[in-house]
Amino acid sequence: MKNLSIKFKITLWYTVFMTILIIVILWLLFSISSSQVLSNAQLRLKDTVTRSFHEIEYEDGVLEFDKDINFLGEGIYISVYSAQGALLYGRTPSLFHGAPMLIMDEIQQVTSGQNLWYVYDYCQKIDGYGNLWVRGIASQTQTDAALHILVRLALIFLPFFVLCIAAGGYLIIRKTLAPLADMTETARQISEGNDLSRRIRVGEGKDEVHKMAHTFDRMMDKLQASFENEKQFTSDVSHELRTPVAVILSQCEYASREDTTPEETRGCIRAITNQARKMSNLISQLLTLARADSGKQQLHPEILNLSELAEIITEEQRSLAAARNITLETDIQPDILFCGDETMMMRLFINLISNSITYGRQNGHTLITLSSGSGYITGSVADDGIGIEKDKLDKIWNRFYQVDSARSSGERQGSGLGLPMVKWITQAHKGTISVESSPGEGTRFTFTFPAQPKNAEK
């Protein structure tokens, strides 16, 4: 049975079940019909005997029998006897040779040869004559023969019914399970050809098979997206690491030359150090995001003075901003307490502020705000830099995505991991972050966190 297809198994069980059900129903019907037929035959025999008295008259000392007495009941033989049991009129079947005794108002079953007979006797007084017996005889064998014909017909047509049930059941089951066959074929083609874009697409439907097919398609959508992200991730990591590795190799080669002066060697070492720090920072952010994806990145919440932390990070970033003549301004409400991971919150402010400096304009401004009210802590980092086009706003949260087509060349260099990191930190602290931007006018990032309850602050 394990090697049989599901369609064949279901069809087989369905056919066996329906066959047994039909046999049981036929057996019940034949049992009920047999009892009903026999009961009707006995009632008809009684009725024919009692009606036959209306066909007998006694006039002028002579018993007269109407000829219709022999045709009152089909298949019923009527005979009339005197009170002493002498046959006066009528006929008996030629194969009937039993029941010589007349028994009042009782149906007897009499076996004569290979035949079974019903015998019914009834006595009634005839005016002017006295008591008169009428006997009715009917063949039970003929009644049973009709039932046997029905049974034989049922046995003849039963295999035909079974074949119809099996064929109809198979067609219905095949149509019902067609999405499963499509699902199997799609999975096979994907495994053989690595084409993750294939789908089942069975159309609308709410049954279990359609739900499974739709679930399979959704699963393939996620798998395809995951593989595409992995390919993009590999490509982006290679791209991001290629430049610092190339710089390190070139600086090492230059420093190893015999004609390189000590001052030039120190310059090479500084360049190598800067590129190594850049690679270290990139790897650190990648590891953090990888742990976050797998749910292994642990937060270490503690009560923080978020206002103080924002001021410290802003001061640290002033030297970076000054290099591009960008002014950092703050509007920070003092002593805002928040329960969060200090390292992650520092990364949030560093990434947002450094992003505004990287993509800000020369002699521009960046405003950092932080306030608390209505149960929420709200902060923002707004610049008057190059801005972001509306169709690209949703993409900035993707890893390695950079609005600037130059990506990691020129002045505006970045790994493309800062904003994805900010989004994860915000969500990990049950907060939200949004962005508003206009090309050529600037960008504003706004984040909110649930405010720290006052009893927790204590």
With a CB cutoff of 8 Å and minimum separation 6, the contacts of 319 are none
Residue 93 backbone dihedrals phi, psi, to 5 degrees: -60, 145
Token pair, residue 441, equals 């006018």
Token pair recorded at residue 219: 């699963």
**What is the enclosing helix (H) or strand (E) of 275?**
helix 262-294
Return the CATH number at 231.
1.10.287.130
How far apart (Å, rounded) are the C-alpha atoms in residues 175 and 59?
Answer: 81
Residues 381, 426 share a domain: yes
- Phi, psi dihedral angles at 106 (to 5 degrees): -145, 130
3-state secondary structure of 360: coil
User: Strand, helix or coil at 57?
Assistant: strand
The SS3 assignment for 451 reads coil
Q: What is the 3-state secondary structure (H, E, C) of 93-118?
A: CCCCCCCCCCCECEEEEEEECCEEEE
Instruction: Indicate whether 93 belongs to any domain.
Output: yes
**pLDDT computed for residue 4 by the predictor:** 67
- Give the whole-angstrom CA distance, residue 27 versus residue 152: 13
Q: Do 113 and 157 form a contact (C-beta atoms < 8 A)?
A: no
- Which of 133, 151, 166 terminates a domain? The answer is 166
List the 327-332 sheet strands across, edge first.
327-332, 365-373, 376-383, 442-450, 432-438
Last residue of a domain, one of 269, 292, 315: 292
Shared domain check, 309 and 287: no
For residues 38 and 136, state if they share a domain.
Answer: yes
pLDDT the model gives residue 247: 87
Q: Are 275 and 311 contained in the same domain?
A: no
Q: Identify residue 269 by its one-letter amino acid code.
A: I
Concatenated DSSP letters for 202-271?
--S--SHHHHHHHHHHHHHHHHHHHHHHHHHHHHHHHHHHHHHHHHHHHHHHHHTSTT--HHHHHHHHHH
CB 113 within 8 A of CB 144: no
Number of domains in the chain: 3
The answer to the question of residue 415 being in a domain is yes
**Within 13 Å and on the Cβ side, how many CA atoms surround 293?**
12
Domain boundary among 166, 197, 220: 166
Residues 313 and 287 in one domain: no
* Residue 142, pLDDT score: 67
The backbone torsions φ and ψ at residue 8, rounded to the nearest 5 degrees and listed phi first, read: -65, -40
Q: What percent of the chain has pLDDT over 70?
A: 89
CA–CA gap between residue 195 and residue 328 (Å, rounded) = 51
- Distance in angstroms (rounded) separating the CA atoms of residues 117 and 41: 11
Structure tokens at 196: 């993750």
In a domain, 182, yes or no: no
Give the distance between the most distant pair of CA atoms in the chain. Answer: 166
**For 13-18, which contacts have Cβ atoms below 8 Å and span 24 or more sequence positions?**
14/165, 14/166, 14/169, 14/173, 15/162, 15/165, 15/166, 15/169, 18/162, 18/165, 18/169
110: CATH: 3.30.450
Give the CA distances from residue 400 to residues 160, 330, 403, 404, 417, in Å, rounded to whole numbers and listed in that order.
69, 29, 10, 11, 6
Tell me whether residue 188 is in a domain.
no
CATH classification of the domain holding 379 = 3.30.565.10
Same domain, 267 and 310: no
Let me know if residue 297 belongs to a domain. Answer: no
Count of all residues that appear for the chain in the document: 458
**Same-domain status, 159 and 260:** no
pTM of this prediction?
Answer: 0.52
Burial of 114 (0-12, 13-18, 19+ CB in 10 A): exposed
Residue 174 domain-assigned? Answer: no
336 and 412 co-located in one domain = yes
Its domain, for residue 258, covers 208-292
Residues 156 and 39 in one domain: yes
Sites in the chain below the pLDDT cut of 50? 405-412, 456-458
Residues 279 and 320 in one domain: no
Query: How far is 264 from 255, CA to CA, in rounded Å?
Result: 7
First to last CA, the chain: 70
Domain shared by 346 and 420, yes or no: yes
**Do the beta carbons of residue 80 and residue 133 sit within 8 Å?**
yes
Task: Give the model's pLDDT for residue 408.
Answer: 36
| Residue 280 burial by Cβ neighbours in a 10 Å radius (0-12, 13-18, 19+) | exposed
One domain for residues 92 and 29: yes
194 located within any domain: no
Residue 71 resides in a domain: yes
pLDDT digits (tens, 9 = 90+) for 315-364: 999 988 998 899 999 999 999 999 999 989 999 999 999 999 988 888 89
The tokens of 77 are what? Answer: 């033989």
